[in-house]
Structure 1
Amino acid sequence: MRADGTAPGRPAPGGPDPGEVLRGCAREVLEVAEGIRAVAERTATTLRASGLTAARRPRTGLAARWALLRALTGGQGLGEPAGTTADGPRGGVARVLGAAGRALGGESLAALVALTSLRLRVAAVLADHPELAHAPGMRLLTRAVAADRDRDAVRALRALLHDRTAQRALSGLAPLIAELLAVRDVLDGKSETGGAAGAEGGAEAVDLADQRRRTLATEGSFLGFLRNIEVLSTDGRILVQNVRGPDGVVRYVLQAPGTAPGRPRSDAPQDLVGAWRDLCGTDSPYTRSLTRAVAGHGIPRGAELALIGHGEGGNAVLNLAQDEEFCRTYRVTHVIAVGSPAGDRKPADPRTWVATVTNQFDLVAAPDGGRAAPGACGTAVDHTAPAAPATPADHTHPAPTPSRPGRYDVEYAGPSREFPLCHRLREYIEHLRTLLPVARADIDEALTPYRGPVVRTQAYRLQDHAHPPAGHPFLTLATAPVRTTVGPVDVPVRYYDSAAAHLCFPVDPDAARSLLPDAPWLTPSRLGRRALAVLSVHEHRCTTIGPYTEIALSVLVDDLWRPRPHDAVTDLLRRVDLRRTGRYVLSLAVTTEAARVVAREIWGQPALRMRVEADLTGREIRARSQDLGLAVEGRLGPGVRCPDADRALYGRRATSTVRTLVRAHGGLRLHPGAGVRVRLGTAAAEPLAGQLRRLGIDAARPLFVLACPQFMAHRGGGAVLAR
Structure 2
Amino acid sequence: MAARRRASGPPTKELLRECAREVVDVAEGIRGVSARTSSVLFAPALTGSAHRRPRTGYAARWALLRALTDKRGLGGSAIVAPDGAGHLLGAAGEMLGRESLAATVAVTSLRLRIAAVLLDHPEFEHDPGMRRLIGAVGTGSDRAAVRALRALFKDRGARRALSGLTPILAELLAVRSLLDEGPPDDDTAWALAAGRARAAGPPTGIGASYLPAPGQGGGGGTTHAVELSARERQGIAAEGSFLDFLRNIDLLSAGGRVLVQEVRGPDGVLRYVVQAPGTTPGRPRDDSAQDVADAWRNLFLTDSPYTRSLLLAIREHGIPRGADLALVGHGEGGIALMNLAQDDEFCRAYRVTHLVVVGAPVDGRRPADPRTWVAGITDRHDIVPVLDGRDPGAVFGPHPNRYEVAYAGPVREFPRCHLLRGYIDHLETVIPHATRDIDRALTPYRGPVERTRAYRLGDRARPPEGHPFLTVPTTSLATSAGPVDMPVRYYDSSAAHLCFPLDADVARSLLPDVAWMVPTRLGRRALAVLSLYEHRCTTIGPYTELGLSVLVDDLWRPHPYDAAVDLLRRADLRRTGRYVVALAVGTEEARTVADEVWAQPAELGSAEIDLEGRRLRAEAPELGLSVTGDAGPGVRCPEPDWVLYGRRGDSTVRTLVRTHGRPRVHARPRIRLRLDGARGALARHLQILELDSVRPGFVLSGPRFMAHRSAGAVLPR
Q: Distance in 2 between matches of 1:218 and 1:313?
A: 19
For residues 57-206 of structure 1, what are the structure 2 equivalents within 5 Å? 70-71=66-67, 74-80=70-76, 101-102=96-97, 109=101, 112-164=104-156, 166-190=158-182, 192-193=204-205, 200-206=219-225
Q: 1:428 to 1:91 in 2, by over 3 A?
A: closer
5+ unaligned residues in a row in structure 1: which ranges?
A: 1-5, 379-402
Q: Distance in 1 between matches of 2:695 and 2:35?
A: 56
Deviates more, 1:222-231 or 1:72-81: 72-81
Q: Distance in 1 between matches of 2:265 and 2:353?
A: 14
Q: Which of 425, 430, 434 is the equivalent residue of 1:430?
A: 425
- Identify the residue that residue 691 of structure 2 maps to in structure 1: 697
One-letter amino acid of the structure 2 residue matched with residue 9 of structure 1: G
Residue 641, structure 1, aligned to residue 642, structure 2: no
Residue 224, structure 1, aligned to residue 244, structure 2: yes
Post-superposition shift, 1:72?
5.6
Query: Would the aligned equivalents of 2:168 and 2:386 in 1 still touch at CA under 8 Å?
Result: no
Q: Distance in 2 between matches of 1:31 and 1:721?
A: 71
Query: Would the aligned equivalents of 2:176 and 2:206 in 1 still touch at CA under 8 Å?
Result: no
Query: Would the aligned equivalents of 1:19 and 1:127 in 2 still touch at CA under 8 Å?
Result: no
Query: Would the aligned equivalents of 2:250 and 2:277 in 1 still touch at CA under 8 Å?
Result: yes
One-letter amino acid of the structure 1 residue matched with residue 678 of structure 2: A
Residue 18, structure 1, aligned to residue 15, structure 2: yes
Query: Would the aligned equivalents of 1:489 and 1:545 in 2 still touch at CA under 8 Å?
Result: yes
Residue 362, structure 1, aligned to residue 382, structure 2: yes
Query: Would the aligned equivalents of 1:161 and 1:184 in 2 still touch at CA under 8 Å?
Result: yes
Q: Distance in 1 between matches of 2:344 and 2:108?
A: 41
For residues 506-545 of structure 1, what are the structure 2 equivalents within 5 Å? 506-545=501-540
Q: Secondary structure at the match of 2:385?
A: coil
Deviates more, 1:142-151 or 1:686-695: 142-151
Q: Which of 657, 666, 671 is the equivalent residue of 2:661?
A: 666
Query: Would the aligned equivalents of 2:177 and 2:206 in 1 still touch at CA under 8 Å?
Result: no
Query: Would the aligned equivalents of 1:22 and 1:124 in 2 still touch at CA under 8 Å?
Result: no
Post-superposition shift, 1:420?
1.8
* Percent of aligned pairs with the same amino acid: 59
- Identify the residue that residue 191 of structure 2 maps to in structure 1: none
Query: Would the aligned equivalents of 2:20 and 2:110 in 1 still touch at CA under 8 Å?
Result: no
Q: Secondary structure at the match of 1:365?
A: helix
One-letter amino acid of the structure 2 residue matched with residue 174 of structure 1: T
For residues 358-507 of structure 1, what are the structure 2 equivalents within 5 Å? 358-365=378-385, 376-378=397-399, 404=401, 407-465=402-460, 467-507=462-502
- Identify the residue that residue 213 of structure 1 maps to in structure 2: 232
Query: Would the aligned equivalents of 2:221 and 2:304 in 1 still touch at CA under 8 Å?
Result: no
Q: Distance in 2 between matches of 1:638 and 1:173?
A: 31
Q: Distance in 1 between matches of 2:658 and 2:60?
A: 63
Q: 1:186 to 1:446 in 2, by over 3 A?
A: closer
Q: 1:52 to 1:695 in 2, by over 3 A?
A: farther
5+ unaligned residues in a row in structure 2: which ranges?
A: 1-5, 184-203
Query: Would the aligned equivalents of 1:215 and 1:231 in 2 still touch at CA under 8 Å?
Result: no
Residue 578, structure 1, aligned to residue 587, structure 2: no
Q: Secondary structure at the match of 1:459?
A: strand
Q: 1:65 to 1:558 in 2, by over 3 A?
A: farther
Post-superposition shift, 1:89?
12
Q: Distance in 2 between matches of 1:409 and 1:88?
A: 43
Q: 1:721 to 1:79 in 2, by over 3 A?
A: farther
Q: Secondary structure at the match of 2:567?
A: helix
Q: Secondary structure at the match of 1:441?
A: helix
Post-superposition shift, 1:114?
4.5
Post-superposition shift, 1:138?
2.2
Q: Secondary structure at the match of 1:414?
A: coil
- Identify the residue that residue 9 of structure 2 maps to in structure 1: 9
Q: Secondary structure at the match of 2:354?
A: strand
Q: Distance in 1 between matches of 2:180 and 2:371?
A: 42
Query: Would the aligned equivalents of 1:211 and 1:488 in 2 still touch at CA under 8 Å?
Result: no
Q: 1:464 to 1:18 in 2, by over 3 A?
A: farther
TM-score by length of 1: 0.83
Query: Residue deviations 1:413-440, cap 9 Å, x none?
Result: 2122222221111111111222333432
Q: 1:32 to 1:91 in 2, by over 3 A?
A: closer
Q: Which of 341, 346, 354 is the equivalent residue of 1:321?
A: 341
Post-superposition shift, 1:17?
2.9
Q: Distance in 2 between matches of 1:350 and 1:453?
A: 28
Residue 686, structure 1, aligned to residue 680, structure 2: yes
Post-superposition shift, 1:34?
6.9
TM-score by length of 2: 0.83
Post-superposition shift, 1:202?
1.3
Query: Residue deviations 1:588-608, cap 9 Å, x none?
Result: 212222222222222222222
- Identify the residue that residue 308 of structure 1 maps to in structure 2: 328
Q: 1:620 to 1:504 in 2, by over 3 A?
A: same
Residue 284, structure 1, aligned to residue 284, structure 2: no
Post-superposition shift, 1:186?
3.1
Query: Would the aligned equivalents of 1:667 and 1:708 in 2 still touch at CA under 8 Å?
Result: yes
